[in-house]
Structure 1
Amino acid sequence: MNFQQLRIIRETVRQNFNLTEASAALYTSQSGVSKHIKDLEDELGVQLFVRKGKRLLGLTEPGQSLLSIVERMLVDAENIKRLAEDFNKVDEGTLTIATTHTQARYVLPPIVNQFKKLFPKVHLILQQASPVEISEMLLQGEADIGIATESLTTEENLASIPYYQWQHSIITPQNHPLVQADKITLELLAEYPLITYHGGFTGRSKIDKAFDEAQLDADIVMSALDADVIKTYVELGMGVGIVNDVAYDTERDYRLKQTKTDIFGVNTTWIAVRKGHLLRGYGYEFISLCSPDADIKALKKIAYPDE
């Protein structure tokens, strides 16, 4: 048994049992992948995959039991490498942050700037994705840290801490009738076409819930994945925007008016890591820069409950 065989088992499952895709992902031949699988099955004395001819259809019961062990062994192998790197090259390496457009565009720039000054030799990768994709990237080991409002607290294999709280803002052209309103209400918003986030992004569920509980039909004419798109179409006069309050830039958005509101409640953006994933020291420094009051010891305790 060797680590390459274990990587092949994991990648085959990730690629939905398509050996062509698995071999491409691992930069090896399909025949080599098949041989490694067969060799491991022969060594263990059990069949790991359900087959139909040469095609793999799924995992057998032993294969399903083995997969969780394989995942854990490969994570531990990566942790050993990171541990050695922490001792040998304290301030060098790669840090991958998976986050949404809102965080990457409006929240993280000063944090990234400060981090790069502290760790100039660390290659920082900022991956923009949906909250569900961010969660999956953490679980698959494709990201070290995830930052998002949704999805990170519902996955049992992720350890998360609160980053910051925020509310939605109403965005309109400067000459819009809502600018003159004494107070923004759900009833008032229901009178206008609305432009806001796509489902699963940036507190959209709370927007829907607020209108539902008030028994009002929101006329959401357009949904987008990021605030910049929303503001662009608001500026064109296509509707009233509802965005994260941090997504309004007073200098760049001077043609638009921001009205803060609490009618959609308070949202929390979270920082998460995968449980059992050994984060390099500079990774925890990044988290501390994001949230100086973050309890790093508590996060480590959640991430490594057996230590």
Structure 2
Amino acid sequence: MSVELKPASKYERKIFYKEEWNVKDVPDFIRNSLTSREFGFDHYGNGPNDRYKVFVDDLRLKRFIKVKQPFAAYCSVAFYDKPNQRKGWQKSELVFDVDAKDIPIRTCDCAEGEVCEKCLNQAKEIVLMIRDVLSGDFGLTNINLIYSGRGYHVRVLDEDVMDASSELRGDIIQYVTGSKLPDLSNEYGFNDLQPFIIPFGYPKNFTRWSKYTILHLRRSSKLDDVNNQLLRDVLKHRNLLQEDLWGMFRSNIGPIRYKKVMNAVSRINMQITDTKVSIDLKRILRLPSTLHSKVSMKSTLIKNIETFDPFDDAVPKFVYERND
């Protein structure tokens, strides 16, 4: 059957938390640090206004959620000495938030704010690319992938990045998403990233993301400083990038116009993830295992991203029992 991404009723939330939700489905990387994290809840669909919650063990978290059956549940990416006051910051996960409804160049025909199977698959492709850069270029290993309900969260808990400042996180985001024109005089492209061993260098990663973006452009795409004629020329010659013939692509576009295109592409790449989420050291994110009530999907820790299908692995039982 097809899954309709519509809001869950109060009764459906009750059924989900009574019969399906299990505190043991909360990922270990959160359960093992409960007393250092802030929890927040949205009980009525108006946003997380019940915040500064702390749970000393699984049992108390379980009791709270089973009783409250929240519209949405969140926990902080930050670790605190006093999470109930958000004081004594220790460190924070490095997070990449890829929401299918916010992908800048979507290949589907969804209306604004909506998601479908096609754009969710596109979000998954992006997450795979982010994961590969984090592990391949930065050598990070504690990378957790979460289906959020309308997209994906990449949550990194390597100690090398947990104490990074907002400024350094901003540089990491630009590197990972290919959203800065490369400085070819610098092997890395980013002076601030020298503490990390980056074997391939930034230009290769920028090329990879730029190719992805250009190959996904549509006639209706809007790019800064790129007029309709230039966009048509890009679409006409972009098949050259399938063979990585960048020199021929540049020649056919023209060097000045090519630079305009690459500047515009780098700005699009920056919109692939929600930058505000990544640099916010005190952000709260949807708690994996809980319900995204706006679309009736489960936020889910992904064990195998290659085989993960949200329409098989993240649909609550009550969705299949609806009688419309």
Highest Rg: 1 or 2?
1
Task: Check whether TM > 0.5.
Answer: no
Q: Identify, as 1 or 2, the structure richer in strand.
A: 1
Which structure has the higher relative contact order (CA within 8 Å, separation 6+)? 2
